[in-house]
Structure 1
Amino acid sequence: MKEDVKEFRKTKDYLICIDSDGCVMDTMDVKHMRCFGPCLVYEWDLGEYRDEIIRLWRKVNLLSVTRGVNRFQGLAQVLKSINENYTTVEGLEEYLHWAESAQKLSDKSLKEAYEKTENICMKKALDWSRLVNQSMAMVSDNKKPPFDGTEDALRMAREYADIVIVTAANRQEINKEWEFFELAQYTDLLMSQETGRKEECLRELLDKGYEKDHVLMIGDAPADLEAARRAEILFYPILAYQERESWEKFSEALKHFTEGDYTGAYQDGKIKEFQENLHIEDK
């Protein structure tokens, strides 16, 4: 599986881009509830509010319109709420500006920003992210399996399309998980938080020569839908807590996609199901 988009070449008329956490891999609950949230409590010394902070993290990152956002954007939302409702977060404003405006949201780019500013919130966010990575590395791969039906769907999609993982997660962790469960063999490229924001990744892939209506983004989060809309490509949702059923229905979606009648009523219906499942309203 390639990790540099410059090495990637179009080999088929169709392209399918797939998110990983919560979409292919059953990792959202274990990563967020055992790693992201607890590491936040530890790094900012919020033990007296532990239960409230863990619930807040879950709401922001799993059960709302911000489900699946980049870790640093999710952290920004939670820290903002902590600052407003629990205790002052020193240096927050400068961190919020970075999380909103940085071209790449990764440990490397945050380290560079911290070295320029010496902002205490950036330093804590960087330490938190590294602690999260260490924590996730300690979680057994067997606790992070793919959802039922994903391998069959990937095998089927591979017959018609080039396959690219487009994720806001850490590259090393995603690569490890896909290799462990032998799913990397069905993919051509991994684009992660180190590559850039999802919309930018999709636009880079379009530059390889695909027609926009020949590109499908599969995702479980509103950020996936928004990136697809901004890149003007198609979207297929994996519904939270209905992942197996979503993958079982993918063969129908693939048929519509390759026969050229995915847009319109079919895609609109899928997006409506997706938004209702997360209790969000369309813009």
Structure 2
Amino acid sequence: MANVQEIVLTFSCQDQRGLVARVASLFAERGYNITESSQFEDTDCRRFFMRTVFDCPDGVNMDDINALFAPVAEQYQMDWQISDTACKPKVLIAVSQWGHCLNSLLNSWKNGSLPIDIVGVVSNHEVMRPLTEWYDLPFYHLPITAETKPAQEAAIWQLMQERQADCLVLARYMQILSDDLCRKLEGRAINIHHSFLPGFKGAKPYHQAYERGVKLIGATAHFVTADLDEGPIIEQAVERVSHVNSPEGMAEIGRDIEAVVLNRALRWHAEHRVLLNGSKTVVFSR
């Protein structure tokens, strides 16, 4: 196993006195150096969350590091993960007929500002094939009907396995995933919803917002769960509108917000800055 130069440790557990000192001293005594660290305590449930980046001493690999930390993690009953920052998560993107979010992700990936490895784009339409192939990425056309939905989702899951994808990103993929696929992808699927959740869920949210005369519209990136548009929220943003904006005008403004929000959420997820906290998230953003 190759030597590791930098790692990121994330964990959560019940808060206890001396926890940070215990973790820091464990690594410091063995020559690791902290370059970034964030902590948070959810006082409602007294659960503690931590994300720390370490420079590693020479000659250590991931087996060594995991073996070092495992006894401490067991002692404090942690949910934990240690990742090599040199290893970018592999991402499969799903899209339908709107390409603004896909284009933003592909451009950010290509210029190196999004630390992921895109392994392909899957769609129930052919519309985004030219854009995908312009970036020299594989495009998988998987059309879907009510009758073929189980087989189509099985094909998506098979692609996840074959391409060794760590995450599925729904970049305006206008299909509702089945409960079974949602369970398989728990914590590994991110959706962009063209609304400021929890308001205006489901279809045509901008039309719903227009009918209510809202003054702020937005977009929400969240983890996918079996409960439609109810998954833990990662990132949101809003833009001011007024009575002069039509539903179509709101949708145009909203598309720009969606691209920014999804890009930001995926980057934070790739950098291991997003920790699940029940129905919520803790996000250690920059």
Q: Same fold by TM (over 0.5)? A: no
Q: Which has the higher relative contact order, 1 or 2, with Cα contacts under 8 A spaced 6 or more apart?
A: 1
Q: TM-score per shorter chain, which class? A: 0.3 to 0.5
**TM-score if structure 2 supplies the norm length?**
0.35
Whose helix fraction is larger, Structure 1's or Structure 2's? 1
Which structure has the larger Rg?
A: 2
